[in-house]
Structure 1
């Protein structure tokens, strides 16, 4: 049940951020779908694997791949789909707690939260980078049919 609610709420929050960033109307639902699927992958990986880095990395990677696919399908920049979709994975609570503990002069808790926040942010950036680099490397790849003019298998 928590996976279904997480999917719905992440979809709604991605729609809100896509509208906040003035995305085109036809891109809003697909960027929200990419964000909701990425958040679902993050939750499933968190339940199965645990930890901080790998679930966030997988969620960001899936969101990035879906953003790149939607960008190719709709002939729009990939950032229109990736940024609203990735918002669900951003460690807002970790940043808040880090600053709160620094202000409250609890340095050990502040550095612990700072480390977790930096790990989460680096996992997000690495997941997007990985998805983007794979997409860029496949951009020039095309399936070509063999030419009928010349068949190299036939001997003359």
Structure 2
């Protein structure tokens, strides 16, 4: 990893995230927030990687952080969470690992290629799991909140069925 100043790391991750958001045709309102999420996720990854020297754990927590911010902004800006989360995780994607895996395989250095490939797949799985955990917790929280609200409404207005259609 190249040791760039923090502001350059944030700037490059911000620009990459905004670029992917534009490519994915995200709403214009979400471009700057998506870039900020991507930049903050990348900074968290760098901090965690310098702290524990484990790319998989660092990626897991950074992806979870990006997913959490995406869920929060989805409610604030009235857009789907994927508008913020998908571009935000792209700076975490293991592009160099994929490239090096293929390079080692082409050069017939199969042991190095297999090792790098396992590392790359582990990082990719950490991204997916980080998003999955946060999204699952958020959805569970929303379901419980909805149930709590329905029970409160039943206490005030009496029992009712929201699934029943009026004829």
Q: TM-score by structure 2 length?
A: 0.83
Shift of 1:5: 1.4
- Give 5+ residue unaligned stretches, structure 2: 157-167
Q: Which of 114, 118, 121 is equivalent to 2:124?
A: 121
- The alignment of Structure 1 onto Structure 2 pairs a total of residues equal to 148
SS across alignment from 1:60? helix
Q: Is the 8 A contact 1:3 1:43 kept in 2?
A: no
- Give 5+ residue unaligned stretches, structure 1: 151-156
Shift of 1:48: 1.0
Q: 1:96 maps to which residue?
A: 99
SS across alignment from 1:6? helix
Counterparts of 1:4 and 1:125 in 2: how far apart (Å)? 27
2:62 equivalent to 1:59? yes
RMSD: 1.8
Q: How do 1:1-150 residues align onto structure 2 when only pairs under 5 Å count?
A: 2-140=5-143, 141=145
Q: TM-score by structure 1 length?
A: 0.88
**Higher mean Cα deviation, 33-42 or 134-143?**
134-143
- After superposition, what is the alpha-carbon deviation per residue over 1:65-124, rounded to whole angstroms, capped at 9, x for unaligned? 001111111221111101110000000010011111111111011011101101100110
Instruction: Choose between structure 1 and 2: higher helix proportion.
Output: 2
